[in-house]
Amino acid sequence: KAGVTQTPRYLIKTRGQQVTLSCSPISGHRSVSWYQQTPGQGLQFLFEYFSETQRNKGNFPGRFSGRQFSNSRSEMNVSTLELGDSALYLCASSPGTGGTEAFFGQGTRLTVV
């Protein structure tokens, strides 16, 4: 079974730009969660999607948004990038019902300059 795939692996953007990150979950998994990971803050939950619906949302500004497609693939978008958005963005998939173990992708390293 293929694991969780995130693209791109690395991104460099300029302040004020917007960015879209992609996540392909494990086949059959319907839940996709997004996290921001920084050395100082650890893992911060962004949002979780299940069957194309956002089920949970963390405490991030509205510049952070996401969506999930019918094939469970998910994207997250960050608009008007700030220097503080530089982080490793992790995607995790899980079956969404019953099993609760999360399977993580390698992450997308976003650097805002």
Partner 1 sequence: AQRVTQPEKLLSVFKGAPVELKCNYSYSGSPELFWYVQYSRQRLQLLLRHISRESIKGFTADLNKGETSFHLKKPFAQEEDSAMYYCARGPMDSNYQLIWGAGTKLIIKP
- Of 111, 101, 89, 83, nearest to 26 by C-alpha is 101
Residue 68 or 81 with smaller CB distance to partner 1: 68
Which 56-85 residues touch partner 1, going by CB under 8 A? 56
How far apart CA 47 and CA 61 sit, in angstroms, is 12
Site membership for partner 1, residue 5 (CB under 8 A): no
Spacing of C-alpha 7 from chain mean position: 10
Shortest spacing between CB 44 and partner 1, in angstroms: 9
Residue 79 or 102 with smaller CB distance to partner 1: 102
Shortest spacing between CB 16 and partner 1, in angstroms: 30
Residue 4 or 87 with smaller CB distance to partner 1: 4
Tell me, what amino acid is at 105?
A: G
How far apart CA 84 and CA 33 sit, in angstroms, is 21
